[in-house]
Amino acid sequence: MRIAIFGNEYQHEHLADLQMFLATLKRKDIEIEMEQSFYRYIVEEAGTRPDVEALISSSADIKASMAVSLGGDGTFLRTARKVALLDIPILGINTGHLGYLADVPVSEMESVIDDILNDNFIIEPRTMLEVEWDGIDIPFPYALNEITILKQDTASMIEMRTEINDVHLTNYLADGLIIATPTGSTAYNLSVGGPIIEPSSRSFAISPVAAHSLTLRPLVVNDDSRIKVTTTSRASTYRLSLDGRSFTLPGGMSVRIKKAPYVVKVMQRPGHNFALTLRNKLMWGINNK
């Protein structure tokens, strides 16, 4: 078995756990590929060189049958960009903060190895978004969480003419507009009052950011919908963000958003439950257990 390992560079308090995890993988005869920048981080911080078969500098280097993301949800999203088109599943081990995607606790690092060896996992396919705009080639034009249109810096509000399946929906007057997948519904979408959507639902959420009218409410649409947004503002440009990767576009340019032809395969341990995850992460019912 061969595993590709990705991680962030904020792991100082977990270095001992990481080294033990890597050593246990080797004892179990599991081959390791490691993200090059993460390998350098461990060498610099721990003073030891992990025993790996190969280093990963691009997606073309990946020969593994699964990936492990060590960090928070941001690390998981970066891992997804590397492996989504390779059609291999990702296991998220949470050494970060909230962790909806990377939800295996770091304390269970070693115990999870037996689950890996015994194929004791459930694979959840997660829908991604794809964006297109004319005349510009985007590297990896996909997003697992959300695609967001935002005003440029401190410019005044922007106007976003929005169409669904070639039918005019409305002109959003706001600081921005979020189109979120069910996976991303608990991310930026949640912070602006958008709906929480069960991950397997076939839908997208469209949520305005600081709308300038109380009648402009979040909307849930079928994930077969084709969404077109044409943005204008007093500034000459606006920003488009794909899971945090930002691009600057000229005012008046339209973007087209639809379901991507690929999915991200998320590995979950048996017994994983979305309702329980929400209770734990959002601390629902903390005073009435």
| 193 phi-psi bin (left φ>0, alpha ψ -120 to 50, beta other) | left
Burial environment of residue 124 by CB neighbours within 10 A (0 to 12, 13 to 18, 19 or more): middle
Instruction: Please say whether the beta carbons of 24 and 54 come within 8 A.
Output: no
Q: How far is CA 199 from CA 5, 59, 137, in A?
A: 24, 26, 29
| 208 phi-psi bin (left φ>0, alpha ψ -120 to 50, beta other) | beta
Q: How many CB atoms lie within 10 A of CB 182?
A: 23
Is 223 noted as a catalytic residue in this protein? no
Q: How far is CA 27 from CA 7, 53, 60, 62, 142, in A?
A: 21, 14, 27, 22, 37
160, β-bridge pairs: 172, 231
Instruction: Please say whether the beta carbons of 129 and 146 come within 8 A.
Output: yes
Under 8 Å CB-to-CB from 262, ≥6 apart: which residues?
84, 85, 87, 128, 142
DSSP result, 166-194? TEEEEEEEESEEEEE-TGGGGTHHHHTTP
Catalytic residue among 17, 29, 61, 73: 73
Q: What is the DSSP letter of 74?
A: H
Rounded to 10°, the helix 36-46/15-27 angle is 120
Catalytic sites, residue numbers: 73
